[in-house]
Chains A and B, each alone.
Chain A
Amino acid sequence: GENVEQHPSTLSVQEGDSAVIKCTYSDSASNYFPWYKQELGKRPQLIIDIRSNVGEKKDQRIAVTLNKTAKHFSLHITETQPEDSAVYFCAAIFQGAQKLVFGQGTRLTINP
């Protein structure tokens, strides 16, 4: 079935350190993988996405890597800052229905 698994569910890192969140997906035909950041009580905001024709994409302190063979992708945040504290969701598109399936979320806390 359509499934996205996300780990860990909570992550706490010291300010300035790196954070890594991992996701696996079930459909080998999936070709689009966005990451959303959601602050408390707010809407999810797209922070980065990757398509299956590339293995890595970077945007300043944020990077996403994709391993199509293993069907997993990861979010990397370097030089973490307090404003990075939020819940992060990965997702994968399931082409049969043109819909996104979301992971369960990771609550990231940056400790000063």
Chain B
Amino acid sequence: DGGITQSPKYLFRKEGQNVTLSCEQNLNHDAMYWYRQDPGQGLRLIYYSQIVNDFQKGDIAEGYSVSREKKESFPLTVTSAQKNPTAFYLCASRLAGGDTQYFGPGTRLTVL
């Protein structure tokens, strides 16, 4: 999982602003995922992508958007439509044909 990077580590946003969280991996993994984690809660799936130029909504996609233009990159945009965006955001990736997901270090987003 050392090959998955997320930036920034901490992010502060004013209400009404869109922000984009970066996720990059150099593991040559095909599938990538975005999860949201709230304090004391489990991981909830926002979006996932199995291949380049294709992605699917997860369980809590409203107020978020993604793109997958390159295999190694899967940025997440938190839009102003997301009413309660303060959370810890985790990106993960998986090799095609495998089941194991490996996580990046996370981005902690705080709305001021």
The reply to whether A43 and B48 contact each other, CB–CB distance below 8 Å, is no
The reply to whether A102 and B43 contact each other, CB–CB distance below 8 Å, is yes
Given A32-B99, A97-B56, A99-B58, verify A105-B50 contact (CB < 8 Å). Answer: no
Residue among A36, A51, A99 making CB contact with B33, cutoff 8 Å? A99
What's the dominant secondary structure at chain A's contact region? Answer: strand
Smallest beta-carbon distance A47→chain B, Å: 12
Kindly list chain B residues whose C-beta atoms are within 8 Å of the C-beta of A97: 48, 56
Interface size class of B (residues with CB under 8 A): 20 to 34
The reply to whether B90 and A43 contact each other, CB–CB distance below 8 Å, is yes
12 A–B contacts from the bound complex (CB under 8 Å): A34-B101, A42-B106, A43-B1, A43-B104, A46-B102, A49-B99, A89-B43, A99-B45, A102-B42, A102-B44, A104-B41, A105-B41
A-to-B contact residues, CB < 8 Å: 6, 32, 34, 36, 42-46, 49, 51, 89, 93, 97-105, 107
B-to-A contact residues, CB < 8 Å: 1, 31, 33, 40-45, 48, 50, 56, 58, 90, 99-106
